[in-house]
């Protein structure tokens, strides 16, 4: 249920942040966080990516221990995890490749296509980071089993050191190590939950208070901004690359989530809510990957119709009153994408023999490289589509054996 609540916060948060208007057929981009500074503290609750890594630590630790007991090889385990994570991104990239090619042929300015694709493909940032952490999960679990809480303290210390070098010494590339250090530390906290090292209301309350206090001190005394999502009005952001503040925010949010755990468990005893949670869980990756494409499609329709529905000044009373309609239309469009693409999130059982350990790792490298380059360079430039970059994740899931070929050998044992 925690993942479902988190994904819904992400979806509605992204939709709410879009404060765009269309004037004389021209798109005027706008971002709620840039227009309303009072919203910045709210990101401490609504930036829920740390929750995904925290819950992911619990789930991946449980899954790997189960595989270890069965004697399942690492290659098989990782391939299974990547099938659920990697396959759903393939249709998204294919649609954007074909749609982008057609848009350029029909005369769409490449810079507008670049803006649209960057907005729509924002979710792939998280996916790339999460895939790396999943790949490292068995090693990280071994570290937790040997060193316990010291592994989390060490992760925080290393993430802080990376920030000092990246921000203080202007060694910017060092900061990107925090994609592993920050998210890996929050993921490590999920192992503590799995091993019942976070039981009791008092311990959970201290966890939340400690994480909140440490984050507050760093923001107050250090170079870190208040918003926990990236915006263009700050020189240093908390998200690109991730800073130690996000790891501490993850500790705060983990405490809140665990404090709410008994209440959430009681709510799940209601049949309708349980069915809703199960339904969203079955297509959670598709919802996450496609909800911003739905928003881009709606904005594109607004441009095509001369700005119909996009003439309201952001943050006015009329704009706030129009948000339920905005959410409803986006929900319908997203439901259409779910109906078409959610099937890719539920691949058939894979009876193939265990692959060598390096093959799914190769798939991970191609997948993350492609998504990383897309985030940095974008889908298009003045010469057209960046076809090689768009194809890297697709090539990765093929050569890495994540998707089955028709002639794949089957393990008959």
| Model confidence pLDDT, tens digit, residues 298-318 | 999 998 888 888 999 999 999
Task: DSSP letter for 225, please.
Answer: -
Q: How confident is the model at residue 107 (pLDDT cuts 50, 70, 90)?
A: confident
Q: How confident is the model at residue 233 (pLDDT cuts 50, 70, 90)?
A: low
Mean pLDDT of the region 120-133: 91
pLDDT at residue 408, rounded to an integer: 52
Model confidence pLDDT, tens digit, residues 29-69: 889 999 999 999 999 988 999 999 999 999 999 999 999 99
Model confidence pLDDT, tens digit, residues 133-157: 999 999 999 999 999 999 999 999 9
Element (H, E) at 208: helix 201-221
pLDDT at residue 1, rounded to an integer: 77
CA torsion angle 282 18 183 234 (round to 10): 180
**Residue 404 maps to a domain:** no
Q: pTM here?
A: 0.92
CB 145 within 8 A of CB 185: no
CB 208 within 8 A of CB 44: no
Domain count, the chain: 1
**Residue 373 maps to a domain:** yes
CB 337 within 8 A of CB 286: yes
**Residue 161 maps to a domain:** no
Question: Reduced to 3 states, what is the DSSP secondary structure of residue 270?
Answer: coil
406, pLDDT greater than 80: no
Mean pLDDT of the region 250-266: 93
Tokens of 140: 């990280």
Q: How many angstroms from the chain centroid is the CA of residue 343? A: 20
pLDDT at residue 366, rounded to an integer: 95
Q: Quote the CA–CA distance of 72 and 307 in Å, as a whole number.
A: 56
**Residue 33 maps to a domain:** yes
CA angle 313, 325, 286 (to 5 degrees): 110
Mean pLDDT of the region 61-86: 95
**Residue 199 maps to a domain:** no
**Residue 223 maps to a domain:** no
Domain extent, residue 293, equals: 2-145+265-399
Question: Reduced to 3 states, what is the DSSP secondary structure of residue 215?
Answer: helix
């Amino acid at each position: 249920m925690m993942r479902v609540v988190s994904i819904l916060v992400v979806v509605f948060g992204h939709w709410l942040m879009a404060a765009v208007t269309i004037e004389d057929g021209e798109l005027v981009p706008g971002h709620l966080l840039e227009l309303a500074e009072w919203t910045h503290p709210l990101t401490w609750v609504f930036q829920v990516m740390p929750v995904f890594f925290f819950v992911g630590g619990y789930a991946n630790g449980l899954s790997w221990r189960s595989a270890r007991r069965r004697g399942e090889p690492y290659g098989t385990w990782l391939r299974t995890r990547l099938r659920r994570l990697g396959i759903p991104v393939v249709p998204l990239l294919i649609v954007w490749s074909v749609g982008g090619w057609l848009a350029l042929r029909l005369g769409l300015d490449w810079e507008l296509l670049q803006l649209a694709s960057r907005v729509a493909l924002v979710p792939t940032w998280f996916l790339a980071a999460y895939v790396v952490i999943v790949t490292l999960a068995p090693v990280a679990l071994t570290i937790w089993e040997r060193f316990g809480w010291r592994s989390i303290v060490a992760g925080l210390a290393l993430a802080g050191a990376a920030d000092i070098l990246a921000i203080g010494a202007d060694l910017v590339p060092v900061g990107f190590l925090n994609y592993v250090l920050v998210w890996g530390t929050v993921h490590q906290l999920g192992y503590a939950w799995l091993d019942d090292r976070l039981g009791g209301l008092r311990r959970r309350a201290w966890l939340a208070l400690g994480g909140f206090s440490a984050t507050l001190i760093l923001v107050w005394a250090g170079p870190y901004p208040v918003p926990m999502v990236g915006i263009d009005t700050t020189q240093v952001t908390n998200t690109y690359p991730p800073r130690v503040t996000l790891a501490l925010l993850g500790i705060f949010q983990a405490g809140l989530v665990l404090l709410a755990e008994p209440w959430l468990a009681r709510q799940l005893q209601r049949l309708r809510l349980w069915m809703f949670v199960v339904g969203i869980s079955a297509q959670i990756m598709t919802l996450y990957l496609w909800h911003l494409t739905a928003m881009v499609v709606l904005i594109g329709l607004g441009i095509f119709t001369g700005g119909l529905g996009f003439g309201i000044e952001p943050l006015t009373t009329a704009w706030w009153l129009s948000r339920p309609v905005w959410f409803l239309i986006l929900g319908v469009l997203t439901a259409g994408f779910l109906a078409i693409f959610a099937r890719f999130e539920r691949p058939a059982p894979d009876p193939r023999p265990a692959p060598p350990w390096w093959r799914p790792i190769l798939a991970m490298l191609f997948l993350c490289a492609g998504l990383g380059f897309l985030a940095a360079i974008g889908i298009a430039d003045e010469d057209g589509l960046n076809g090689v970059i768009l194809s890297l994740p697709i090539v990765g899931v093929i050569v890495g054996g994540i998707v089955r070929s028709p002639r794949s050998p089957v393990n008959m044992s």
